[in-house]
Amino acid sequence: MTAFNHLTLTDFRSYERAELALDGRPVFLVGPNGAGKTNLLEAISLFTAGRGLRGAAIAELGRRQPGETQGRAWAVAAVIVEAGEETRVGTGVETPGAARRTVRLEGEAVPPGRLADLQRQVWLTPAQDRLFLEGAGDRRRFLDRLVFAGEPSHAAHVSAYEKSQRERMRLLTDGPADPAWLSALEARLAEAGALMAEARARTLAALQAEIDGRGDRPFPQAKLTLTGDWERMAGEGVEFAEIEARLARSLASARDRDAAAGRALTGPHRGDLLVVHAEKDRPAAECSTGEQKALILNLVLAQAARLSRAESAPNPILLLDEVAAHLDRRRRAALFDEIEALELQAFLTGTDELLFEDLKGRAQGVHVDGSSLAILDTE
């Protein structure tokens, strides 16, 4: 089992200094709105590559006193335990307002991607409550987050694709539209895009199999579809080289059209994740708010379940921000039972301790108030 057993926050968000000793069990954080619960989850989420669960700029994470225009230098440190072995890891900035953070593993600076060797994370936040009602971009990012938890290299492929896409559009719109340079960029785009499409298709198929195999749970069953042409080809078993070649040809033939539109009109950045409530045969967007929340949670739990069985990767950590309040008692109990059955460390937040009544005796409770942390007696 992979778990955090100690956290230290210094000048991070609302925390001047806070420490939390953990025992590997699930953790529920309770306290009033604005107390700092989500800030603590965000700190934990920074032990992955990227900007964490809020997607905030690094310069925004430092604590600010009234009147200060710039956040302070900040740090988050943790001890992560895997199979009884402890690893010390930290991240932060040494200069106030710095745009990039440093990651240290046992005191040595390492690339953020190394964090995936220690633990993976899957999270659900209130910002995702409207996932099925917002634009396709939000759903792609949600899916890519699930893909990344299982295949950390996916983040690098997405980054390479987006960088090459920006460079290509600058040439098309601002010039000079040099054909040789455009062909080189489109080759990079095609390679990264084909890798993205394959990873998304693999993850979607695995999630669907996981959901289909767990029909006795009180969460609505989902039918998942990727609408992108490139993901569809990958899902149908088209060879990587063929997807890459087709995408390169499609980009080359679309130069004039993309230049006129001011954006790329073909590629894996155009796909969408469609989710249907299987029992009702109704798109998720037409379901109730509670059903939508349960469908999203089902996807997150399905990914956590399959990753928990992976022999080649550490167990995932679950971050569930204000999820319990949106579930009825039966589904809350099922969620807690599943977390315990999967032997995962999960961090859940809520304003009412009664929401976590069914977790008492098998989880740690932490009261958060004014960014101070106090362990609750839950036995």
pLDDT of residue 111: 93
Q: Is 284 in a helix, a strand, or coil?
A: helix
Omega within 30 of 0 (cis) for the link into 176? yes
Report which DSSP code applies to 244. H
pLDDT tens digits, 328-363: 888 899 999 999 988 899 999 999 999 999 998 899
CA dist., res. 47 & res. 345, Å (int)? 14
**Residue 7 pairs with which residues in a beta bridge?**
20, 78
Residue 135 CA to residue 141 CA, distance in Å, equals 11
> Which residues does the chain have with pLDDT short of 70?
215-216, 378-379
**Predicted model pTM:** 0.92
Query: Residue 379 has what DSSP assignment?
Result: -
pLDDT of residue 207: 95
pLDDT at 1: 82
CB 366 within 8 A of CB 373: yes
- 163-181 residues labelled b (16+ CB within 10 A) or e (exposed): ebbebbbebbeeeeeeeee
For residue 315, what pLDDT is reported? 83
The pLDDT score that the predictor gives to residue 370 is 77
What is the C-alpha separation between 72 and 68, in angstroms, rounded? Answer: 9
How much is the pLDDT for 54? 93
pLDDT at 371: 77
Q: How does 358-376 read in b/e, with b if 16+ C-beta sit within 10 Å? A: bbeeebbbbebeebebeeb
